[in-house]
Amino acid sequence: MITLTSEQVWQEIRRNLFAVLGMVTPAGEARTVGIVYAVQEETIYIVTGKETWKARHIAGNPEVSLTIPIAKQIPLLPWIKIPAATITFAGTATLQDPAGASPAILHALFRGIEQEREKLAEMCLIAVTPKGHFVTYGVGVPLLQMRHPEQARARVPVHTGELQKQRA
C-alpha cells in the first residue's frame, strides 16, 4: 500500500468535478447517479431540483457513498486504455436551501444561473460530509504501479490533522 495523506486526497478531490453518488431508495434498492460537484472545506456540494428522486432518496436515507473517477492515460499514447484511478468514501448527506450557501459554491455549481431567482427557488443543494476513510486506487502512484493492487491502493482518514485539531 502507498502512503497518502488526507490533504493529498482532498487536493485530488478539489481538482476534479465529476463523481458517482450512491444512495438507497425508500424500498431499500441501491441507486447511483453521475453528478457534478464543488468542494468547500470538507464538504462536497451537489445541486439538484427539490422534486427530483435524488432529493427524495436522500431525504429518506442520508447515508450515501461517493466515487470520484480520475482519468489516466499514457502521454502521447492516448489510445491505450488505462483504468481510472478512484477515490471512494461513505458520507452523510443533507438537503440545504441554496440561499444559505456561499456565493463561491453557488457560482461553482450554477455557473451563472444563480442570479436567476425563480430557477434557484426550484433547486436544493446536497451537502455530503465524508466520514471514516477514503479508499483510493491509483491516486499518487505511477501508472505501472497500478498493475499491482497492493501497491496502488490506500486507506486514508477523511479528516486532515489540522481540521481534527480544530474540532477537538
CA–CA separation, 1 and 98 (whole Å): 40
| CATH number of residue 160's parent domain | 2.30.110.10
With respect to residue 1, please indicate whether it lies within any of the assigned structural domains.
no
With respect to residue 26, please indicate whether it lies within any of the assigned structural domains.
yes
What is the number of structural domains in the chain?
Answer: 1
CA–CA separation, 60 and 161 (whole Å): 32
Q: What is the pLDDT of residues 90-121, one digit of tens each?
A: 999 999 999 888 989 988 998 876 666 777 78
Containing structural domain, residue 70: 6-167
- What confidence score (pLDDT) does residue 112 get? 72
Residues 6+ apart with CB under 8 A from 81: none
With respect to residue 77, please indicate whether it lies within any of the assigned structural domains.
yes
| % of the chain exceeding 90 in pLDDT | 61
With respect to residue 61, please indicate whether it lies within any of the assigned structural domains.
yes
What pTM, to 2 d.p., does this model score?
0.88
pLDDT at 18 over 90: yes
pLDDT at 19 over 60: yes
CA distances from 119 to 70, 123, 148 (A): 31, 7, 48
